[in-house]
Amino acid sequence: MKKEKRNLLDKDINQRITYEKKLKPQQVKPPEKKFAQILIGVILFGIVFANLIYALSTLLMHK
């Protein structure tokens, strides 16, 4: 009884090992940014930067 269980266990382990060897490690590529995403990022950065300049200029000019 124990020998049969041991044989089944060994067979299962060997099947798993061969299955994992067959699976080649695939490189996961990060999703590339599309042109629209880059454009939105640049526009938002421009708006924030312009607001910062405006806030600093109003702070410094109106003393």
Q: How many CA atoms lie within 13 A of 30 on its CB side?
A: 3
d(C-alpha 1, C-alpha 50), whole Å: 79
pLDDT of residue 24: 66
Longest Cα–Cα distance of the chain, Å, equals: 93
DSSP 63: -
Q: What is the pTM of this model?
A: 0.45
User: Which two three-digit tokens encode residue 22?
Assistant: 């067959």
Domain residue ranges in the chain: 2-61
- Which pLDDT band, with edges at 50, 70 and 90, does 53 fall under? very high
pLDDT in tens, 7-41: 777 777 777 777 777 776 767 777 888 989 999 99
pLDDT of residue 2: 66
